[in-house]
């Protein structure tokens, strides 16, 4: 477990601290409630927030290029924010039109609406009146929406989604559930979303990504003391930041170190059918900086692995008629390894090998067919009895096979991963566009960045090898298992992002990804 030091959370580096926090709608309400109870006027905070939004809009969408702005105004304080933004853009020279379909407004929002009318800003109750605008600002609904959009409002949202101009949503695209990211009937498809104050869970949920566009946090100065009073000093949900990720990476070494002090990883991988998986996992493990790398493969693959990884210790294992590994060597001394990564390319026929690995007291990363074998054996509950940590790295299909009841019952991937970790006693890394890493104690870390370039066969093998190498080093350094896992996930994603930026999303195969692992860390070295 990570225990962030209090200085980092309580004031020395506010920007990094704020970026870590992820809140539910209820938690956000409680935090704001503390601020208002302490004496902050709601009207003053609305002016401050809207001022920051206006500054952001003006910096991205100049009046010369986007002179006509349409603003969607809701009945609550999200609508109030939108009205203040509309007012400020108006006085800055923009031609502003409002779509204001609600007759009943909250008191503060109604006051802003009254003043807007006195300025002569056009107020419409038909969405079509905004079709000619160059930019649309969505202020219909913010966090806390639970009811589906229906009728004229839903029709208006669908109409906006058919337009081609950029759309900036305030706090959340209207129509998204704050916690699950689910679409409540319909939702605005924003090109930019300005999340206010703290990151909401929806921003880390895959089903919301198609509606968010580019996400930006507008930090309006919520006191850290109020945030930690609600979330705790060590929040149960954290967004991974670069500072968090690189903290456990082996970016520097003592001058007197040697290979036996930098970890020894055993990779158990490959089959005649999936030879490449073993090569990819081995090359990425080597890139992790691990001191010693041993690789167990079927005997028929041994020479191939030696040719690809001459610096690894490659051992050939007995294999069955299909070319799958039948068993590990009887004289294999498991206790000399600091960690084991198992499963890449082994095929379901390697069930005895996976059972051998899990029976030993070494930290294990289990991936690919290792997970499918675990599901077929129905031995998931036995993981709690292991004396060493287990890390499971499923994508959603593998997760459904391992935890069918959890997958069926939840439309919230974060919650599903947390429940799976608690049920199995393993650290669960649920892969996806927004990867979740969950600890058995209920804490979860969310990787906020990735790229669809990683949707290629073999990239999971790269992650397994990288994570295994980091785990072997982390065990010797005393690094928390969860921290190793989320650092590996972040590093892997950053390499993908860099590769996609330089080569395009179509140009990032798994072999190419490995070449970007080291360059991705150079800005932090």
Tokens representing residue 128 in the block? 């079509």
DSSP state at residue 21: B
Which has the closest alpha carbon to 216: 57, 103, 43, 336? 57
- Tell me: is residue 361 an annotated ligand-binding position: no
- Tell me: is residue 146 an annotated ligand-binding position: yes
- Tell me: is residue 431 an annotated ligand-binding position: yes
> 349 by DSSP, 3-state: which?
helix
- Tell me: is residue 216 an annotated ligand-binding position: no
- Tell me: is residue 435 an annotated ligand-binding position: yes
Give the torsion sign (CA, 314, 317, 319, 324). Answer: negative
Which has the closest alpha carbon to 167: 132, 192, 184, 145? 192
Cα separation, 253 vs 262, in Å, equals 9
Paired sense of beta strands 325-327 and 313-319, if any = antiparallel
- Tell me: is residue 291 an annotated ligand-binding position: no
- Tell me: is residue 81 an annotated ligand-binding position: yes
Task: Answer yes or no: are the C-beta atoms of 294 and 313 closer than 8 Å.
Answer: yes
Side-chain-side CA neighbours of 331 within 13 Å: the count stands at: 2
Tokens representing residue 330 in the block? 């009887």
- Tell me: is residue 103 an annotated ligand-binding position: no
Task: Answer yes or no: are the C-beta atoms of 487 and 245 closer than 8 Å.
Answer: yes
- Three-state SS annotation for 247-269: CCCCCCCCCCCCHHHCCEEEEEC
Tokens representing residue 264 in the block? 């020894």
Phi, psi of 102 (to 5 degrees): -100, 135
- Tell me: is residue 433 an annotated ligand-binding position: yes
- Tell me: is residue 464 an annotated ligand-binding position: no
- Tell me: is residue 145 an annotated ligand-binding position: yes
DSSP state at residue 70: E
- Tell me: is residue 202 an annotated ligand-binding position: no
Angle between helices 369-377 and 351-358 (to 10 degrees): 90
Cα separation, 325 vs 271, in Å, equals 7
Cα separation, 225 vs 3, in Å, equals 17
- Tell me: is residue 169 an annotated ligand-binding position: no
Task: Answer yes or no: are the C-beta atoms of 89 and 112 closer than 8 Å.
Answer: no
- Tell me: is residue 143 an annotated ligand-binding position: yes
Task: Answer yes or no: are the C-beta atoms of 353 and 333 closer than 8 Å.
Answer: no
- Tell me: is residue 434 an annotated ligand-binding position: yes
- Tell me: is residue 13 an annotated ligand-binding position: no
- Tell me: is residue 239 an annotated ligand-binding position: no
Phi, psi of 234 (to 5 degrees): -120, 90
- Tell me: is residue 263 an annotated ligand-binding position: no
- Give Rg (Cα) of the chain: 26
- Tell me: is residue 400 an annotated ligand-binding position: no
Give the torsion sign (CA, 350, 356, 358, 361). Answer: negative
- Tell me: is residue 289 an annotated ligand-binding position: no
DSSP element (H, E) containing 227: helix 224-231
* One-character DSSP codes across 417-472: HHHHHHHHSSEEEE-STT-EEE-TTS-EEE-----GGG-STTHHHHHHHHHHHHHH
- Tell me: is residue 460 an annotated ligand-binding position: yes
Annotated binding site for AMP: 431-435, 460
Annotated binding site: 77-81, 138, 142-148, 171, 174, 277, 343, 395, 431-435, 460-461
Annotated binding site for K(+): 78, 138, 174
Annotated binding site for (6S)-NADPHX: 77-81, 142-148, 171, 277, 343, 395, 461
């Amino acid at each position: 477990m990570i225990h962030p030091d209090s200085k980092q959370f309580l004031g020395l580096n506010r920007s990094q601290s704020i970026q870590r926090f992820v809140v539910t709608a209820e938690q956000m309400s409680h935090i704001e409630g503390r601020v208002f109870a302490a004496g902050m006027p709601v009207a003053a905070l609305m002016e401050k927030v809207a001022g920051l939004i206006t500054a952001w809009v003006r910096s991205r969408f100049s009046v010369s290029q986007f002179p006509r702005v349409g603003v969607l105004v809701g009945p609550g304080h999200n609508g109030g924010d939108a009205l203040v933004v509309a007012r400020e853009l108006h006085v800055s020279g923009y031609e502003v039109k409002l779509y204001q379909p609600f007759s009943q407004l909250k008191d503060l929002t109604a006051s802003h609406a009254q003043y807007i009318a006195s300025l002569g800003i056009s107020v419409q109750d038909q969405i079509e009146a905004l079709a000619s605008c160059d930019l649309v600002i969505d202020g219909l609904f913010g966090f806390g929406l639970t009811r589906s959009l229906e009728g004229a409002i839903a029709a208006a949202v669908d109409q906006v989604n058919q337009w081609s101009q950029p759309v900036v949503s305030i706090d959340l695209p209207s129509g998204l559930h704050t916690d699950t990211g689910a679409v409540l009937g319909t939702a605005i498809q924003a090109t930019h979303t300005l999340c206010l104050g703290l990151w909401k869970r929806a921003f880390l949920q895959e089903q919301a990504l198609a509606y968010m566009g580019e996400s930006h946090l507008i930090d309006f100065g919520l006191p850290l003391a109020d945030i930690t009073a609600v979330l705790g000093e060590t929040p149960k949900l954290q967004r991974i930041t670069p500072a968090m990720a690189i903290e456990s990476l082996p970016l520097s070494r003592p001058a007197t170190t040697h290979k036996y002090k930098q970890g020894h990883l055993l990779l158990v991988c490959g089959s005649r059918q999936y030879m490449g998986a073993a090569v990819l996992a081995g090359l990425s493990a080597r890139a992790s900086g691990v001191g010693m790398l041993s690789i167990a493969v079927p005997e028929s693959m041994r020479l191939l692995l030696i040719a690809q990884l001459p610096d690894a210790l490659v051992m050939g294992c007995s294999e069955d008629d299909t070319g799958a590994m039948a068993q590990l060597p009887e004289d294999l001394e498991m206790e000399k390894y600091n960690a084991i990564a198992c499963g890449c390319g082994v095929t379901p026929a390697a069930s005895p090998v996976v059972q051998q690995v899990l029976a030993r007291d070494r930290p294990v990363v289990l991936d690919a067919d290792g997970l499918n074998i675990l599901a077929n054996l129905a031995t998931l509950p036995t993981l709690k009895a292991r004396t060493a940590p287990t890390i499971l790295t499923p994508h959603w299909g593998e997760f459904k096979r391992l935890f069918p009841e959890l997958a069926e019952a939840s439309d919230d991937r974060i919650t599903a991963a947390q429940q799976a970790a608690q049920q199995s006693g393993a650290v669960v890394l649920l892969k996806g566009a927004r990867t979740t890493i969950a600890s058995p104690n209920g804490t979860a870390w969310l990787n906020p960045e990735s790229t669809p370039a990683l949707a290629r066969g073999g990239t999971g093998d790269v992650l397994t090898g990288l994570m295994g190498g980091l785990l072997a080093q982390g065990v010797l350094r005393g690094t928390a298992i969860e921290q190793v896992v989320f650092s590996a996930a972040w590093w892997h994603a950053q390499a993908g992002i860099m590769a996609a930026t330089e080569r395009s999303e179509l140009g990032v195969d798994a072999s190419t990804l490995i070449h970007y692992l080291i360059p991705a860390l150079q800005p932090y070295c």
